[in-house]
Chain A
């Protein structure tokens, strides 16, 4: 009798198990991890994007913010999740391509299946309104005399690397004061203690800062009068991007499904409107292109950090 019961149990298990294997993905809630705090620079596009995915995939998307240590705590956690398509992450360039070089993270570029790029933001060289500097040349002139103080997030962050690149290209030196984030930097700028900061366009708008140059290959729509670094003599390009990732080993049919959903999501009018309201730029890159781009970025940023002497 017991044997029969066991057999029946096994049979039932097989039926149920078989059914799961063939069921349409997604059949349960999907967790999207954002490695920075709610309401922040990564969180806003991440949440707007998740709202669209929820509608397209017709399932619940649970957004969790796992914060700390430049996003590496969240990324490490995600890299250890089961690659079943139910644990995904919305992560920026720093967490995925610079932090692994700076810290000994348990994850690397091999730990992810890149799904798509969702958003991007070029960096601007900005100064406070009453700084007395009106052009990029003013800044370089002042730096030549010595005494330009610049601020940004902790060393190894994108703005830190970018200011090092600008200084190197124009053969000047900036004094870098690390702050916790852009809010603290702007306070120092408005108080006149920090003269220049490299940041995204939204900060220039929000805090009424004057952008002097854009570190991109072309001028932007939001600040059409601001020259590119190349126009100013040295081509320097630094921008942040935000991508949608799955842990490595996620089945390819699930990645395909997510890739299609991503393409649809970024085109939704509500997403476009939401991003515009938050002054963020949508930049979509499909899976194949993004995978290649990501691998390149991982390598290049490692090289940049070594060249800047930030890592050995």
Chain B
């Protein structure tokens, strides 16, 4: 494949393609930063433009939007405590506290570099291991998916600061919210109370916008914080190398988790970021600082969500099966351009693949530029008078909630979720577990029920799958570890007192 590199670069080095990458990255970053409007909306808005573009330019435009919109979500997560996209919900946990301490410039620096690293990490995997990873992806069946989601749910404990019980309750709320709407297994709609707009269920975006953006606005309007806020630094600062070096392990681990989850079916980017966050916290020496503005929290979430991009492209390009909502829209555009992703593409048109890889490389690297230049403007948002900022957030969130599906009920749901969110804040229930529950609920249920049909209704047959067993065992260890650790420590102390 590499012998095509010079000709591919030649083909891509046109004004149209370069402009597409630049415009796509700017646009994607911007839309990603707007609360509610995520990757899919950004791609849909750009879709009609691709009809009149050449194929390489169209692919370049979409890939850059894809990468930068995922990155863009972190900007609003850090600056205004509202994730721009569901994938950045975990970034809020440490990004916003850091910005609140006046270090928004560093927070953006951590997020940007981590995003670029995660994106490039997954790109390397995509280039060298796509066919192998795709094979893993198809053999990761319903039972294995079920086991993985059981494992993923353990991260609820890690993101629930304070009360674990409240976190688990919030997680269950999320799981219940995911049951509303069409039931794939029967084709019927459930729990929609005869409101036809609810037959499609709650959209994750509208719940997210409500819980984070609206509740933030309502909370600030209702409760006056008298604390003196530090004047936020504007701009963009990358922490010095030693700071990064001591967090290298977190960066690598989270990028690997993101890439891997991206390859697998059904789990998705949102869950990937929370798993990466949970795992980072579990193994970190700085565990106690998580949730108070620890850079590792930002690194884990942002490197994982950008690593999902390369991971999700593995089944998309290698098999023609989109890995997530964003890649599904891209698939449609590729088909219109007469490019059919899949096994044949790898064999017959390697130059198209290679072109996509080269484009992805630039789409990731350009994020540094967007972050560095854009941050000058973004961070100034924090110096706006608060009523103005909040009004803007409210307006954009309303539009975002509506734009996802064009369904007016989503707006009402978002506002209602905002009111509930204020209440949850007052009683200190963490919001992130609700998002985890909602992001995983549907696949959790479907993989279980599909697995039950496959196994002829015998749940114990789930344990015939060795990979699933391994994952479930790991779950058990992770859940029990704090208790075991305490036991060991206590015995150690007892021995000391005896000795």
Show the binding face of A for B, using Cβ within 8 Å. Answer: 37-40, 43-44, 47-48, 51, 63-70, 72-74, 76, 102-103, 105-106, 149, 153-157, 160, 175, 177-180, 183-184, 186-188, 190-193, 202, 205-208, 274, 277-279, 310
B221 within 8 A of A: no
Residues of B within 8 A of A153 (CB): 184
Residue of A at shortest CB range from B320?
A206
Write the nearest CB–CB distance from B315 to chain A, whole angstroms: 7
Taking the nearest CB of chain B, how far is it from the CB of A270, in angstroms? 10
Asked whether A157 and B197 contact (CB < 8 A) given A73-B407, A187-B321, A188-B142, the answer is no
Q: Chain A interface secondary structure, helix, strand, loop or mixed?
A: mixed
Contacts A38-B329, A106-B196, A205-B340 given; indicate if A157 touches B187 (C-beta within 8 A): yes
**Do A68 and B332 touch across chains, with their CB atoms under 8 A apart?**
no
A–B complex contacts, Cβ < 8 Å, 17 sampled: A38-B40, A47-B336, A51-B51, A65-B406, A66-B405, A68-B199, A69-B181, A72-B196, A154-B182, A177-B453, A178-B185, A187-B315, A187-B319, A188-B142, A193-B141, A208-B342, A277-B337
Contacts A69-B182, A190-B138, A193-B141; is A44 near B196 (CB within 8 Å)?
no
Contact B336 A154 (CB under 8 A): no
Residues of A within 8 A of B320 (CB): 186, 206-207
The reply on B201 being an interface residue by CB < 8 A is yes
Chain B residues closer than 8 Å to A187, beta-carbon distance: 137-138, 265, 315, 319, 321
A159 smallest CB distance to B (angstroms) = 12
Q: Determine which of A63, A155, A179, A180 lies in contact with B186 in the assembled complex, contact meaning CB atoms within 8 Å.
A: A155
* B450 located at the interface, meaning its Cβ lies under 8 Å from any Cβ of chain A in the complex: yes
Return B143 CB to nearest CB of chain A, in Å.
Answer: 9
Cβ of B12 under 8 Å from chain A? no
List the B residue with the shortest CB-CB distance to A128. B138
Q: Are A69 and B200 touching (Cβ within 8 A)?
A: yes
Q: Give the A-binding residues of B (Cβ under 8 A).
A: 40, 43-44, 47-48, 51, 137-142, 181-189, 196-197, 199-201, 265-266, 315, 319-322, 325, 328-333, 335-338, 340-344, 405-407, 446, 450, 453-454
Residues on B with C-beta less than 8 A from A310 are: 187
Tell me which residues across on chain A come within 8 A of B319, comparing CB atoms: 186-187, 190, 207
Q: How far is the CA of A58 from the CA of B452 in the complex (A)?
A: 55
A-B contact count (CB 8 A): 152
Tell me how far the C-beta of A44 lies from the nearest C-beta in chain B, rounded to whole angstroms: 6
Given A40-B328, A66-B405, A155-B335 contact (CB < 8 Å) = no
Indicate if the CB atoms of A154 and B453 lie closer than 8 Å. Answer: no
Given contacts A44-B336, A69-B181, contact A37 B329 (CB under 8 A): yes
Once A38-B44, A183-B328 are accepted as A-B contacts, the answer to whether A68 and B142 lie under 8 Å apart by CB is: no
> Which A residues are in CB contact (< 8 Å) with B329?
37-39
Q: Give the complex CA separation of A178 and B142 in angstroms.
A: 12
B335 touches A193 (CB 8 A): no
Known A69-B200, A191-B141, A193-B454; 13 more pairs at CB < 8 Å: A44-B335, A47-B336, A64-B406, A65-B406, A102-B188, A103-B199, A106-B196, A153-B184, A154-B186, A177-B454, A187-B265, A191-B139, A206-B320
Which of A39, A68, A178, A202 is close to B405, meaning CB atoms less than 8 Å apart? A68
- Does A38 lie within 8 Å of B332, measured CB to CB? yes
B187 with A178: CB separation less than 8 A = yes
State whether A38 touches B335 (Cβ < 8 A): no
Q: Which residues of A contact B406 (CB under 8 A)?
A: 64-67, 74
- Expressed in whole angstroms, the Cα–Cα distance for A47 and B49 within the complex equals 12
Asked whether A38 lies within 8 Å of B185 as measured between CB atoms, the reply is: no
Q: A44-B335, A179-B184, A207-B320 are in contact. Are A149 and B139 (CB under 8 A)?
A: no
